[in-house]
Structure formats: C-alpha cells, structure tokens
Chain A
Amino acid sequence: DGGITQSPKYLFRKEGQNVTLSCEQNLNHDAMYWYRQDPGQGLRLIYYSQIVNDFQKGDIAEGYSVSREKKESFPLTVTSAQKNPTAFYLCASTFIGDGRQPQHFGDGTRLSIL
C-alpha cells in the first residue's frame, strides 16, 4: 500500500541527547515536510524539501536538523539545542507539479522528555 510511514510512534529523549525521527514515503512525491503540533497551536512548519539534497527552514527550525539523501526519505533530528521538544511531530509529502495537490500526512511521532 502506498503511504507515508513515520517511526517510532513514541519516543523519549534524555537531557542532552539527539534523537532522530524517521519519515519514509512510497508515493513518489517530490516534496516532504516536517511539522510540529502542540496542544491548541495547530501545525507549525519546521523544515521542508522539494528535491533531493536540498531543504529549507520553516518557521521554527531552531534546534532541529534534516537531510534528504533519497527522494523517499526525510529524517528529522531533534538536537539537544531544542529546549522544549515535547510535541507531536508530523511528516507530510506531496507532488509539486501545478501546486494544486494536497499534502498527505503520516501517523506522527509523539516525543517526550524523560
């Protein structure tokens, strides 16, 4: 089945630790995105990538890093510089084309601090 797979579903981070969230898609989508969702805050864009080996910062990129070495994969690293990492992280992807395609989402990773 085609879709977007995020793993793990739940993740715990210790102080000073970097953690990496996985996002894989087999939809042949060009663009991939990472969002953070906090209660009552809606979704906020962290990073996005429209082609392999290229990515741009979103509104809240500080404390996060990404890579896009393959079209189907867009992992997000939450670094120790992110002081408030507890949130629900959502990965999305879409075709670029005419800009009229919706973004589709994975099931998310819930990150908490130990």
Chain B
Amino acid sequence: EDKVVQSPLSLVVHEGDTVTLNCSYEVTNFRSLLWYKQEKKAPTFLFMLTSSGIEKKSGRLSSILDKKELFSILNITATQTGDSAVYLCAVSSGAGSYQLTFGKGTKLSVIP
C-alpha cells in the first residue's frame, strides 16, 4: 500500500521566519511528487517534482526531491501571514492510473 507521511503536522512561526516542511513516501512505481497549498477551499497547485536534486522555485517557495532517500522538502523563506495554510504533499504512482496518494498535510500558522 502506498504511503505518504508529512511532518510536522502543525507548525507556528513568526512573520519573517524560514520554515521547512517534510514529506516522505513509500510507493510502487513512483511517477511524481506534488505540493499543494490549501487555505479554506480548493487546494492550489504549487510544484510537481519528478527528478532528484533539481530545485523548483517560485518566489519565496522552493522544493526539492530526493528519490534515493524517498523524501521531499518544501521551504518557505521570509514567511508572511498569507502563507498560513495547510500544505499537502501527494505522490503519483502506478502505470496509467494517474492516482494521487496524499499525506495528512502540515498546518502552518504565521503570526505577526
């Protein structure tokens, strides 16, 4: 059974801090790892990672994948209150099924 584990489950930081969110996985036939941000409604897509060691970056957010150690991290620098959300990690696996297995998410709270 495919498994995705995120840590920590919740985190409280002050504005301006840098945070690192972790995602480890055990899946058969790995295809890609995805990060989403969920505020109150729809998860919004952040990154898709398929290759080890290549950092993806968007503004203050960045992410990297290690396929040997089976984990990914999501970094957020200079956090703002608008970064407060649940961050979801998901892994796509299996040939042709295009299913995602999600972790439980990390709830990030950024306080002024």
Interface range for A: 20 to 34
Interface range for B: 20 to 34
Residues of A within 8 A of B (CB): 4, 31, 33, 35, 40-45, 48, 50, 56, 58, 90, 94, 96, 99-100, 102-108
Could you tell me the dominant secondary structure of chain B's interface residues? strand
Give Cα A41 to B36, complex, Å: 15
In-complex Cβ contact of B102 among A42, A104, A106 (8 A): A42
- Tell me, rounded to whole Å, the shortest Cβ–Cβ distance linking B14 to chain A: 25
Within 8 A of A (CB), among B15-60: 31-32, 34, 36, 41-45, 48, 50
Contact present for A58 and B99 (CB under 8 Å)? yes
Contacts of B96 in A (CB 8 A): 99
Nearest CB in chain B to that of A88: its residue: B41
Give Cα A94 to B92, complex, Å: 13
